[in-house]
A and B are shown apart, each in its own frame.
Chain A
Amino acid sequence: MKAAPATTAGASAAAVDAGDGRPRGQQARPPSPAAVEKKLFSIRYRADEASHLSLADPERCTRCERPCLWFCPAAVYQWEDGHMRLAYENCLECGTCRVACPSANVVWHYPTGGCGIAYKRG
């Protein structure tokens, strides 16, 4: 796995043992969103004006181990200067964050009809 630039999230996540027998900290730094940018270029999007994603309580993210920095397949969740930024324009609308956020902090709506991703193949 490539090393990503260290961030505050990386530092706190390093304390978490993934429980999979890997050396501690090997996966502890969140992947760099650059890793998925090229893939996202291949998808057609029709941008919605407003975000269909928001956080019920942004404060909760500061006390969380922030698994969303890893599990989101589009790197929508980005931890910047102690805040969670949602790059909602990149969302693949898979719904994983609704299911996987441990404190059900994600307020999730579908984008306006016709907006969001539009696969050419799928």
Chain B
Amino acid sequence: MAAEHFDAIVVGAGPAGASAALVLASSGLSVALLDRGEFPGAKNMFGGVLYRHAIEALVGEAWKENGFPVERVVTEQRYWLLGPESMVTVGHRHEAFGREPNAWTAFRARFDPWFAAKAEQAGALGVYQTTVVDLLRDPKTGRVTGVLTDRDEGELYADVVVIADGVNSLLREKLGLPRWRPDQVSLAVKEVLALPRETIESRFNLEGNEGVTIEFLGDTSQGMVGLGFLYTNKESLSLGIGVMIDDLARHRIAPYELLESVKRHPMIRRLIAGAESVEYSAHMIPEGAYDALPPALAGDGWVLCGDAAGLVNFLHREGTNLAMLSGQMAGRVIAEAHRRGDLSARSLMAYDRELRASAIGRDLRRIRRMPSMLHRWGGRRLFGDLVGGINRAAYRYFLADGTPKRQAEAEALREIVRAAGGWRPLMRLAWDGFRGVRG
């Protein structure tokens, strides 16, 4: 592989990298798509929801092909607030989601190879089982001129390097960007639990390939800031929980024991009863929103996409779509810069401006106060006390024990006020929460 030169090198064949490679190759550029996995997706896990909008933006209606590797069409989304032995829930089911898919549940080790193959079909050269260990730079100007891989004579050169190596990005640190702080990332653990198809369909009230997603929070994160998920696949469930890493390090709770306690929760235990655990996995999630983005998403000879840049909307559990759309945007900017013959840092910065002005940038800016709000209030107050209080209030509200309704309602409200630590903190919390999602 000595001294090979490409128009572009893409590091990472996840959704961000494969999208960038697809756009670049389709524009007629020579592209190498590198991944350290045995195949694209071998190293990747997620909760499990893929969005049609982003997939269609990249590969059109290829999702209608036979063998499109997804599990179920999401037709219902539920949110659960869990007390120790209770829950308060909201959800939405719509037949329209079945007619025109909005999202699917999926496995990354099956989706990513399919998606990367689309980039290869467009002309990108897939180079897998190859770890990039460093960036190559022009000694005089410092411009990134390629990558050093762990292969023999492993230098590869390119006009531009697309850095899409995921949340645990070692390359962004080679650019001089700081490592994530423990309060900017969470760790999630997940198990795939096998169950017969009919059991899943009857337990979740599903027909055919319909699917349900459940996001849950509360007692299950044991006083930490965290979110759990339970998704239906064809013949298995994906059950997991993610918690902020600073909380995890402080609380001294092993992630696998946390997951075991989630499995024992009475509202979850009955849904997974009899299931066989067929795969355990763990991964980080960037949770810093807008303020954790690097000062520039492009520079001299490089652009940064997907999780490596921190593009995750944790409020809506969206990441793969942001990764795909950022890769697409980077690919277009590079192709255009190539056409003009101007691949300077200034020219590549068009990607930075476009991304920040796009729906991705706007959504991440909107939730920019959420991370600090969550830290200020803390996992125990928000996810323990408050969610517990809401559950006690619901219990009081529904209990028919002869108490006059007016009094029962007042008692229910008091449960919530008490859980928040009084009226003033409750009003503050409502205000902070409102600003957290309003920007």
Q: CA of A67 to CA of B245 in the docked complex: distance in angstroms?
A: 11
Residues of B within 8 A of A43 (CB): 279-281
Known: A73-B254, A104-B179. 11 other contacts (CB 8 A): A70-B251, A95-B167, A95-B168, A96-B248, A99-B182, A100-B245, A113-B151, A117-B43, A119-B42, A119-B45, A122-B41
Residues of A within 8 A of B256 (CB): 31, 35-36, 39, 73, 75
Give B28 Cβ to nearest chain A Cβ, in Å: 28
Chain B residue nearest to A93 (CB atoms) is B43
Interface assignment of B180: CB less than 8 Å from any CB of chain A: yes
Residues of A within 8 A of B191 (CB): 39
Give B153 Cβ to nearest chain A Cβ, in Å: 14
Residues of B within 8 A of A92 (CB): 281-283
Known: A118-B42, A122-B109, A122-B281. A18 touches B131 (CB 8 A): no
Q: CA of A13 to CA of B129 in the docked complex: distance in angstroms?
A: 40
Interface assignment of B340: CB less than 8 Å from any CB of chain A: no
Within 8 A of B (CB), among A65-122: 67, 70-75, 92-96, 98-100, 102, 104, 108-114, 116-122
Interface assignment of A47: CB less than 8 Å from any CB of chain B: no
Give B69 Cβ to nearest chain A Cβ, in Å: 11
**Which residue of B249, B255, B280 contacts A42 across the interface (Cβ within 8 Å)?**
B280
Give B172 Cβ to nearest chain A Cβ, in Å: 12
Residues of B within 8 A of A109 (CB): 133, 170
Interface assignment of B207: CB less than 8 Å from any CB of chain A: no
Interface assignment of A61: CB less than 8 Å from any CB of chain B: no
The digit string for A1-43, where 1 denotes a CB below 8 A from any CB of B, is 1100000000001001011111000011011000110111011
Interface assignment of B107: CB less than 8 Å from any CB of chain A: yes
* Docked-complex contact A39 and B280, CB < 8 angstroms: yes
* Docked-complex contact B182 and A118, CB < 8 angstroms: no
Q: CA of A3 to CA of B143 in the docked complex: distance in angstroms?
A: 55
Interface assignment of B206: CB less than 8 Å from any CB of chain A: no
Known: A92-B282, A118-B42. A99 touches B277 (CB 8 A): no
Interface assignment of A46: CB less than 8 Å from any CB of chain B: yes
Residues of B within 8 A of A19 (CB): 250-251
Known: A95-B284, A121-B110. A113 touches B257 (CB 8 A): no
CB-based closest 3 A-B pairs: A114-B129, A95-B168, A39-B280
Known: A39-B191, A43-B279. A100 touches B249 (CB 8 A): yes
Please name 25 pairs of A and B residues whose Cβ atoms are closer than 8 Å in the assembled complex, sorted by A: A20-B222, A28-B252, A35-B257, A39-B191, A42-B279, A71-B248, A71-B254, A72-B255, A73-B256, A73-B282, A92-B282, A94-B282, A95-B168, A96-B282, A109-B133, A113-B36, A113-B150, A118-B42, A118-B109, A119-B108, A119-B281, A121-B110, A121-B192, A122-B46, A122-B110
* Docked-complex contact B279 and A119, CB < 8 angstroms: yes
Interface assignment of B37: CB less than 8 Å from any CB of chain A: yes
Chain A interface mostly helix, strand, loop or mixed? loop
Known: A43-B279, A93-B168. A122 touches B107 (CB 8 A): yes
* Docked-complex contact B129 and A71, CB < 8 angstroms: no
Interface assignment of B17: CB less than 8 Å from any CB of chain A: no
* Docked-complex contact B181 and A99, CB < 8 angstroms: yes
Q: CA of A6 to CA of B129 in the docked complex: distance in angstroms?
A: 41
Using CB atoms and an 8 Å cutoff, list the residues of chain A in contact with chain B. Answer: 1-2, 13, 16, 18-22, 27-28, 30-31, 35-36, 38-40, 42-43, 46, 67, 70-75, 92-96, 98-100, 102, 104, 108-114, 116-122
The digit string for B109-135, where 1 denotes a CB below 8 A from any CB of A, is 110100000000000000011110100
* Docked-complex contact B128 and A114, CB < 8 angstroms: yes
* Docked-complex contact A73 and B245, CB < 8 angstroms: no
Give A70 Cβ to nearest chain B Cβ, in Å: 5
**Which residue of B37, B179, B223 contacts A99 across the interface (Cβ within 8 Å)?**
B179
Interface assignment of B27: CB less than 8 Å from any CB of chain A: no
The digit string for B348-389, where 1 denotes a CB below 8 A from any CB of A, is 000000000000000000000000000000001000000000
Residues of B within 8 A of A20 (CB): 222-224, 250-251, 380
Residues of B within 8 A of A122 (CB): 41-42, 44-46, 107-110, 112, 279, 281
**Which residue of B43, B278, B380 contacts A121 across the interface (Cβ within 8 Å)?**
B278
* Docked-complex contact B182 and A70, CB < 8 angstroms: no
Q: Which of A43, A70, A104, A119 has the most chain B CB atoms closer than 10 A to its own CB?
A: A119
Q: Which of B129, B168, B380 has the most chain A CB atoms closer than 10 A to its own CB?
A: B168
Residues of B within 8 A of A94 (CB): 168, 187, 282-284
Q: CA of A2 to CA of B79 in the docked complex: distance in angstroms?
A: 30
Q: Which of B150, B167, B250, B278 has the most chain A CB atoms closer than 10 A to its own CB?
A: B250
* Docked-complex contact B129 and A121, CB < 8 angstroms: no
Residues of B within 8 A of A21 (CB): 223, 380
* Docked-complex contact A121 and B107, CB < 8 angstroms: yes
* Docked-complex contact A111 and B131, CB < 8 angstroms: yes
Residues of B within 8 A of A73 (CB): 187, 189, 254-256, 282
Residues of B within 8 A of A13 (CB): 252
Chain A residue nearest to B236 (CB atoms) is A121
**Which residue of B110, B192, B251, B283 contacts A27 across the interface (Cβ within 8 Å)?**
B251
Interface assignment of B253: CB less than 8 Å from any CB of chain A: yes
